[in-house]
Structure 1
Amino acid sequence: MSELSGYGPTPFDALRRGRRAVDRLMASMVDNGGMWREVAATQVLLSEASPPIYFQEFTSAEEAAAGADWMWWWVDRDGVCFGLLAQAKILKVNGRQWTIDFGYRTKGDPRSQITKLIKAAEPYQVPAAYILYCGDRKYRATLECDRTHGSVLCRDRERVGVSVVCALVAQRDVSFYGKGAGLEAFHDAVPVEDIASPAGVDNPVHSLVRELDEELAQFLVQPQSGARRVAKELLRPLERIRRGQFSRAGTLERAAPVADALFRDVPTDRGHFSVPYLAHVLRGLRTGVPDYVRDVMEGRTPPAWVTDRFGGIVVIPEADTFG
């Protein structure tokens, strides 16, 4: 049911409410000559989206080392869930140059934050991603991108103020486009609320790898919802980029299966990405909810090996509920 039905908000309702609050925060700060910050935007987003979305905030003391802000988990009614480890970033403008600081480095550390983020996701067997805070359409009015999404110019997308993109996409964009990486990643980012939208368009994803497991092949071409849909949307730009890379067809080698993974027969095709992209994303799609995620859902504090590593956990329950 929708929020107006009297049966409580759906994930779409909640995320839309949160995104609108973040847009208002941004507009207010810009109108007063300031700039909003990632921490404040995340707090506004989650506080406005709760309930029905759960969240627990932890210490952010190790963010500089881990390169991560929050773990996000979408949980479906059948128990299938999808998690990602996300760093929050802001789409900024300096004159006519639009940027996202993917190349940030901590003083004294030669590694980029994006490299640390991808590595930080390994112990949790989830993909690395960015939650992008991109402002409202007025803020993006001078953004020059002539590509369209449907019939809408890239900059004019209404709901893109809070979006998600896989870190492998951002890493590739930094390598190819340098300071223009932010604009490229913005174009490939999907609004978080669109994933939960009852009106969302879910076109097939076409893989370069020809010998996919039958269930995985069907997953890519058939419409999905909830946790499965999030995984598919993160894969979409990766598969598009992979098809444009001049390298041999996808390898037939298989990744070591992840415990409770929904798909256990996943190719290790890498293309020009830093890690096998299919395995990186799909390891986050599970048949059961991890104990530390259930802790958040049931009001308990997760163990220290979770709470000491990043800023908090977001849980979107009944993620496959559209109305």
Structure 2
Amino acid sequence: MTGMLDAGGMFREVAATQVLLSTTSPRIRFVEFAADEEKENGADWLWWWVDRDGTCYGLLVQAKILKLHGKRWSIDFSYKTRGDDRTQLSKLINAANHFHVPAAYVLYCGDSQYRSTLTCDRAHDDVPCRERDRVGVSAVSALVAETAVGLDVRNAGVSAFHDAVPVEDITSPDGLDAPIVPLARGLAKDLDRFLRQPQRGSRRVAKELLRPVQRIRNGQFAGAAVMEHAAPVTGALFENVPNDYGHFSVPYLAHMLRGLRAEVPDYVRDVLEGRTLPTWVTDQLGGIVVIPDADAPAVVPGRASDSGAGRRLSGLRETPRPPHGRRPGQAA
């Protein structure tokens, strides 16, 4: 992204994704498909985090760019294709039902110089929002984006950016994750433990992406959380999940946690073992990304292994551009 800006150009979703995946390969596995279902599904790729014990977490992901238009920052969550009244956001959430995973965005947000004029009056551990490390490639639930659009469509991009989590931080996080205190009471013991106790691997990914969604729900004046259970997803790690909607369009806990599985789906194993994937998968997606356990040794012939996917991603730290680099809004 920095390179394109320095050259007077602008980074694009497809190119940024290809650079990200090629740089992290072979530690991170991916398969790119020929199908282009974005118009119908609003989605690009399936991302799966896979632990050595078989626990895994999947997301249906759409890539988006944090863009500057004049003096206004935005992410086009409400994009519509010609002749279709549905927003790309609503299609993404609906398409996620096909794979029984949550819907999410991977945001390409440039480097700190690109974001220098971004206005967000909230901070992260006393660091201004726009100056956070590693946030140039971040992930956020589609439910966060949906809420931001509903509250203030013009500033939805900045709001979602604030709640986005750097991909590097959820792939190989440092420190212990703080407890999530749910609005619902009387949760199943395994779910309550998951929310309140530190997690690692794919469980940690699920928890970090759920965190801003739960924070939004806790701030909604939507009455007490509904305690009836959502329909269980086959193979889901948690079978008894509240069917509480809050002000979201779907039951938020059930939506966010249905991608957390006890066993790796067959088509994800196909990616890991180099087999041909079924057409019901390849015809629906632009590709699949598989991020193996961060503690597993990398398989890189002829050299010492990295300590994990997060270590490889750590090589993509944001670096300041030289003074002559193009700034936001500057003519190419």
TM-score by length of 2: 0.87
1:259 to 222, 229, 234: 234
After superposition, residues 42-191 of structure 1 pair within 5 angstroms as 42-191=17-166
Task: Spell out, residue by residue over 1:85-111, the C-alpha distance to the aligned partner (whole angstroms, 9 max, x if none).
Answer: 000000011122110010100000000
Measured in 1, the distance between the counterparts of 2:175 and 2:286 equals 30
Deviation, 1:285, is 0.3
> 1:213-268 CA distances to partner (integer Å, 9 max, x unpaired)?
11111111111111001111111011111111111111011011111110000000
Q: Distance in 2 between matches of 1:195 and 1:41?
A: 19
- Please report how far the alpha carbon of residue 77 of structure 1 lies from its aligned counterpart in structure 2 after TM superposition: 1.2
* 8 A Cα contact 1:196 1:225, kept in partner: no
Q: Which residue type is aligned with residue 46 of structure 2?
A: M
Residues 1:293 and 2:238 are matched in the alignment: no
Distance 1:248 1:147 in 2: 27
Cα distance in structure 2, aligned partners of 1:230 and 1:73: 10
Equivalent-residue separation in structure 1 for 2:55 and 2:8 (angstroms): 44
Which contiguous aligned blocks of 4+ residues in structure 1 show a shift greater than 4 angstroms? 320-323
Q: Which residue of 2 aligns with 1:222?
A: 197
- Partner Cα distance (2:287, 2:67) in 1: 24
- In the alignment, residue 311 of structure 1 is paired with which amino acid? G
Q: For residue 152 of structure 2, give the secondary structure of its aligned residue in structure 1.
A: helix
Task: Select 1:306's aligned residue among 251, 256, 281.
Answer: 281
Q: Specify the alignment match of 2:183 in structure 1.
A: 208
Identity %: 65
Aligned to 1:11: none
Q: Which runs of 5+ in 2 are unaligned?
A: 297-306, 309-332
Q: Which residue of 2 aligns with 1:20?
A: none
What is the rounded CA distance, in whole Å, between the counterparts of 2:188 and 2:50 in structure 1? 24
Measured after TM superposition, the shift of residue 198 of structure 1 is 4.7
Aligned counterparts of 1:303 and 1:36: Cα–Cα separation in 2: 32
State the distance in 1 between where 2:130 and 2:86 align: 31
Give the C-alpha shift of residue 31 in structure 1.
2.4
Question: Which AA in structure 2 matches 1:210?
Answer: R
Aligned equivalents of 1:199 and 1:286: distance in 2? 23
**Alpha-carbon distance in 2 for matches of 1:262, 1:319:** 20
1 CA distance for matches of 2:291 and 2:11? 25
Partners of 1:281 and 1:135 lie apart in 2 by: 27
1:269 to 244, 258, 266: 244
CA distance in 2 between counterparts of 1:319 and 1:280 reads 25
Q: Structure 1 CA distance, aligned partners of 2:84 and 2:176?
A: 42
Superimposed CA distance per residue, residues 62-118 of structure 1 (whole angstroms, 9 cap, x where no aligned partner): 211111000000001111000010000000111221100101000000000000001
| Equivalent-residue separation in structure 1 for 2:63 and 2:292 (angstroms) | 21
Alpha-carbon shift at residue 320 of structure 1 (Å): 5.3
Q: Is the 8 A contact 1:204 1:220 kept in 2?
A: yes
3-state DSSP of counterpart to 2:8: coil
Aligned partners of 1:182 and 1:198: how far apart in 2?
A: 25
**Contact 1:196 1:320 (8 Å CA) reproduced:** no
The change in CA–CA distance for 1:320 and 1:149 in structure 2 (over 3 A counts) is farther
Which secondary structure state, in structure 1, belongs to the residue aligned with residue 235 of structure 2?
A: coil
Deviation string 1:173-209 (CA, Å, 9 cap, x unpaired) is 1010111000000000000110133524511111101
Sort the Cα spacing of 1:265 and 1:128 in 2 relative to 1 into closer, same or farther, 3 A: same
Distance in 2 between residues matched to 1:319 and 1:33, nearest whole Å:
36
Which residue of 1 is the match for residue 329 of structure 2?
none
Q: 1:320 to 1:116 in 2, by over 3 A?
A: farther
Note closer, same or farther for the CA distance 1:286–1:320 as it changes in structure 2 (3 Å cut).
farther
Report the count of equivalent residues.
Answer: 298
Contact conserved, 2:272 with 2:290, CA < 8 A, in 1?
Answer: yes
